[in-house]
Amino acid sequence: MLKFTEQHEWVRVEGDTATIGISPYAAEQLGDVVFVELPAVGKKVAQFGEAAVVESVKAASEVYAPISGEVTEVNKALEANPALVNEGALKEGWFAKLKIKDKAELSKLMDEAQYKSYLEGLH
């Protein structure tokens, strides 16, 4: 199950694990990503609270957690190759994995169809 926030983060839920990242739209708006500051493993993040920072040739932006949880893993590949965010925002460009605190928070997020409609409303 893939869900999105209005700030263009995504979460993919598998069991009690949530993988988070930024949407292809966000990566496109940022331009070439040159640095990603990942959260520490063990850090507890709140839904819509700051989880990471991404810097591009255009700007630096906070990445907010789509769901509350504890960071169990980070994508170390981004440290060496931050461009993975641009190349595969929904796949190899993920930021962190969380142990989900409360699955009910998913109801506050958009599914793919709702997110697509939301993006169309931005233009």
CB 9 within 8 A of CB 93: no
- Report, as an integer, the average pLDDT of 61-68: 97
Half-sphere exposure of 30 (CA within 13 A, CB side): 29
pLDDT in tens, 2-36: 999 999 999 999 999 999 999 999 999 999 999 99
Tell me the C-alpha distance between 95 and 67, whole Å. 13
pLDDT at 119: 97
User: Is 22 a member of any domain?
Assistant: yes
pLDDT at 123: 73
User: Is 97 a member of any domain?
Assistant: yes
**DSSP, res 59:** -
Task: Tell the burial category of 38 from Cβ atoms under 10 Å away from its Cβ (0-12, 13-18, 19+).
Answer: buried
User: Is 52 a member of any domain?
Assistant: yes
User: Is 82 a member of any domain?
Assistant: yes
Query: At 52, which CATH number?
Result: 2.40.50.100
User: Is 45 a member of any domain?
Assistant: yes
φ, ψ of residue 49 in degrees (nearest 5): -90, 160
Q: What angle do CA 99, 102, 108 make, to 5 degrees?
A: 115
pLDDT at 34: 97
Q: How many domains does the chain have?
A: 1
User: Is 115 a member of any domain?
Assistant: no
pLDDT at 51: 97
pTM over 0.85: yes
- Domain residues for 72? 2-101
pLDDT at 52: 97
If you search the block for the tokens 């998913």, which residue do you land on? Answer: 106
User: Is 47 a member of any domain?
Assistant: yes
CB 63 within 8 A of CB 33: no
User: Is 120 a member of any domain?
Assistant: no
pLDDT in tens, 82-123: 999 999 999 999 999 999 999 999 999 999 999 999 999 997
